[in-house]
Amino acid sequence: MNTQKLKMYALALPLAASLAACQGAGSTDYKDASAPVEARVKDLLSKMTMDEKLRQLSQLNMAPDIVQDGEFNESRMDECIGANGYGSVQGILLSSEQATDYYNRIQHYCVEKTRLGIPIFNTTESLHGSVQDGSTIFPQSIGVGATFDPDLANQMTTAVAGELFSEGLNQVLCPVVDVTRDPRWGRTEETFGEDPYLNGLFGIAEVKGYLDNGMNPVLKHYGPGAETQGGLNLASVSCSRRDLLQVHLKPFEMVVRNTNLHGIMSSYDMWDRVPNSASHYLLTELLRDEWGFDGYVYSDWGAIGFLHSFHKVAATEAEAGRMAMTAGLDFEASSGCFWQLPELVKQGKMDEAVIDQAVARVLKVKFEMGLFENPYRNEGGKPEVRSEKNKALARRMADESIVLLKNENNLLPLNADNLRSLAVIGPNADQVQFGDYSWSRSNQDGVTPLVGLRNLLGDRVNIRYAKGCDLVTDDQSGFAEALSAVRASDATLLFLGTASASLARDYSNVTSGEGFDQCDLNLTGMQEQLLEAVSATGKPLVLVLVTGKPISVKWAKEHVPAIVAQWYGGEAAGDAIADMLMGNTVPSGRTPISWPQSAGHLPCFYNYLPTDRGFYHQPGTPNNPGRDYVSSSPDPLWAFGHGLSYTTFEYGEPVLSATQLMATDTLTVGLEVRNTGSRDGKEVVQLYFNDVASTLATPVKQLKAFTKVEIPAGESRHVEMSVPISEFAYYDMDMNLQVEPGEFDIMLGSSSNDIRQTVRIQVGAEGSVIKTDPVTNASFMVTPDGDTIRRE
């Protein structure tokens, strides 16, 4: 193996050159709002001590440093912040009322009592609503992805930004655009699903919603991290460089290139044995030099310290700090490695210019956000949360995220006029499930399915409720009551699934979410046994899976007539599922991630290579051995993009703008979609492509456009979608990103495995090279001595 050391002395040169351009024009005061940002950064940086610089690269935890026993301790600000300020402060455990008050108090201190008056980033989490107590709780991200409507996601973050502003905040650590292909990973629920294009579009929509409304989103978690070894959180990722660039990093590139993103968070994981938080290739060469990102990189909490304590690539915390910063990571959260860098500078082991570069990036974002001129948010006001408008949006998103997976003989919707009694059973029937990164797990803060059904049906239907079992133990003592209720009722609604924590608050009996991964995909506890016992009664049964990720329910698919996926649906989830089950709303959600038959069927995603779903296509069963798998097929239970409706849709012949195109062209596809059923409904028209023959293997299909259209019963709508031919590019043998000339199939359908129309186009040779990528089959990391190693 050849090892070439590349000196890092030029790391700070790009920023230094831009600052030098301001010289000769006279001195500029960083407080002058009319001066160029670069000049203001240069002036402020020149006035800062080393301690002030490092503080701008560090985060203060409001509790317990300043908020103690729930009360704000004014005197602690002198001790914790002093005269030198801080880069960021977080208070995720605060109520909305406390946040509005406390964040502004700290901002006043930083602006008015520190030596240089640098405003602070008031930081929180808002994956699906602000985590400050009392805020609107929207559907979890996997449910947002299931809507297949990025405009709804944009409306959500616009609404959330308003609540955050009223809570005194200016920075949020979201959205998550990780591409998740292994649902054993507990954080699956935080993502939009398995498709790079879908995730990228939702990421763009959410980032714009924040940026357009005065909030600084920090996109996460940069680097491959959602397809970890064994589905374990923080584990390493093994994938090719092509998959790295075209699958895992594709949505990050889409967001960076299509928004004015200021912040991005590095991830805990490692790729090709290089921790992402120490990868010069990821953090500098790709993110900055190629994609043009000019904001700052924020570490995931404790990630820099992990280089020493967890990844074992740094002998000391000081070395970990240097590795991360010289790789291109600018801001440290919840570890103390950067504080040890001054000693390395004194010893001549690190150039202070590297620290200056990181500080300049943070200051640049604060200037660009206008924090020096307008540092306060809703000062003296009350938080404006849970408005009627925001609650209505949360409800609409809950409606559109529900996925009807199976509906044999049109069992759904149920007709209340034909029901005398209804059994409502299961551990998730009368328990809210909001998902991780929310502020509550209490039924007082949302609507459970049982409450939603009672709200809707009132006295018209006798509802018999029994929990049956819990989510985690082997206790079957509740089975008898549940089965009695089932036998005495006309039909049964069985609510099973998962449970996730509320951030930094309640981690009891959690089966999904951050750090709660599964070795299989089965229903936990006694849920499967309860399901089979209820089914054995012979009563009409609807299974509702309230979940943050796909669950292996192969038996249920074979034996239960109707199955619904309700991703964690936010505070209005109970009302939404009640209206869907009783036919007041028509389901329109789609699966944003494939549902594997079992953990043994992983990996399971729709955009697989032609060789990866078997050769013999003679699926076996437990009593009848076959091939490829002896006792199964390799197919998913439900494929990406799947979702049924209470109506039906017919696709007309597609009309193309051209069938002979060049790589620089844009293809437009139009078609008529007709609602052939008796109910108004929404159809998600999906456009996939396939490279018919390519020099290197390419996926059997890839999503490149989709649109959600509402069509009244018996009517048609014209649907039109456009795709740049450059989206058909892939990395060739020399790692050039190009559109290879040849034939491409354009597939239109209702899901990835329900293609209704296919047309073929020809792409010519002229202009086929999109760009030349300088990346080799090498990986990079920054060593403890500050050099970059290229591993061939």
Per-residue pLDDT tens over the stretch 396-412: 999 999 999 999 999 99
CB within 8 A of 709, min separation 6: which ones?
673, 682, 683, 685, 717, 719
Instruction: Compute CA 59 distance to the chain's CA centroid, rounded to the nearest angstrom.
Output: 23
Q: Is the pLDDT of residue 22 over 50?
A: no
Compute how many other C-beta atoms are within 10 angstroms of the C-beta atom of residue 627: 12
In this prediction, residue 70 has a pLDDT band, given cuts at 50, 70 and 90, of confident
Name the residue among 780, 783, 788 with its Cα closest to residue 270: 780
Query: What pLDDT, on the 0 to 100 scale, is given for residue 5?
Result: 30
Query: What pLDDT, on the 0 to 100 scale, is given for residue 1?
Result: 32
- CA-derived radius of gyration, the chain: 27
DSSP classification of residue 74? T
SS3 for 162-186 is HHHHHCCCCEECCCECCCCCCCCCH
Tokens matching residue 736? 């050039």
Query: What pLDDT, on the 0 to 100 scale, is given for residue 760?
Result: 97
Query: What pLDDT, on the 0 to 100 scale, is given for residue 782?
Result: 53
Is the CB of residue 609 less than 8 Å from the CB of residue 644? no
Q: Is the pLDDT of residue 727 over 60?
A: yes
Q: How far apart are CA 73 and CA 154, in angstroms?
A: 37
Q: How far apart are CA 109 and CA 227, in angstroms?
A: 43
Name the residue among 615, 642, 657 with its Cα closest to residue 195: 642
Average pLDDT, the chain: 93
Is the CB of residue 378 less than 8 Å from the CB of residue 100? yes
One-letter amino acid identity for 90? Q
Q: How far apart are CA 354 and CA 327, in angstroms?
A: 10
CB within 8 A of 346, min separation 6: which ones?
none
Q: Which residues of 33-59 are buried (b: 16+ CB within 10 A; e: fewer)?
A: eebebbbbbbbbbeebeeebbbbbbbb
Output the CA torsion sign for 547, 641, 193, 517: positive
Q: Is 86 exposed, middle or buried (0-12, 13-18, 19+ CB in 10 A)?
A: buried
Per-residue pLDDT tens over the stretch 736-788: 999 999 999 999 999 999 999 999 999 997 545 454 333 333 344 555 555 54
For 588-612, what is the mean pLDDT?
A: 97
One-letter amino acid identity for 586? V
Strands 88-90 and 59-61: parallel
- Segment among 178-182, 347-351, 381-385, 774-778 with least mean pLDDT: 774-778
Q: How far apart are CA 210 and CA 129, in angstroms?
A: 12
In this prediction, residue 27 has a pLDDT band, given cuts at 50, 70 and 90, of confident
Is the CB of residue 323 less than 8 Å from the CB of residue 784? yes
Query: What pLDDT, on the 0 to 100 scale, is given for residue 19?
Result: 40
Task: List, as own/partner pairs, every contact residues 473-478 make where C-beta atoms lie below 8 angstroms and the sequence separation is at least 24, other chains included.
Answer: 473/525, 473/526, 474/525, 474/526, 475/525, 475/526, 476/526, 476/529, 476/530
Report helix, strand or coil for 310.
coil
Tokens matching residue 46? 């020149």
For 593-622, what is the mean pLDDT?
A: 95
Residue entry with tokens 């006035």: 47
Q: How far apart are CA 401 and CA 687, in angstroms?
A: 20
Q: Is the pLDDT of residue 583 over 90?
A: yes
Instruction: Compute CA 74 distance to the chain's CA centroid, rounded to the nearest angstrom.
Output: 37
In this prediction, residue 28 has a pLDDT band, given cuts at 50, 70 and 90, of confident
For 11-16, what is the mean pLDDT?
A: 38
For 705-733, what is the mean pLDDT?
A: 97
Query: What pLDDT, on the 0 to 100 scale, is given for residue 787?
Result: 54
Q: How far apart are CA 187 and CA 230, in angstroms?
A: 13
Residue 302 sits at φ, ψ, to 5 deg, of 80, 0
Which CA distances in Å does 28 have to 210, 266, 359?
Answer: 31, 33, 18
Tokens matching residue 751? 């899901």
In this prediction, residue 76 has a pLDDT band, given cuts at 50, 70 and 90, of very high
Per-residue pLDDT tens over the stretch 123-153: 999 999 999 999 999 999 999 999 999 999 9
Is the CB of residue 466 less than 8 Å from the CB of residue 402? no
Question: Whole-prediction pTM value?
Answer: 0.94
Residue % of the chain over a pLDDT of 90 = 92
Q: Is 347 exposed, middle or buried (0-12, 13-18, 19+ CB in 10 A)?
A: exposed
Q: How far apart are CA 205 and CA 208, in angstroms?
A: 5
Residue entry with tokens 């500098």: 284
Q: How far apart are CA 36 and CA 606, in angstroms?
A: 48
Residue 682 sits at φ, ψ, to 5 deg, of -115, 135
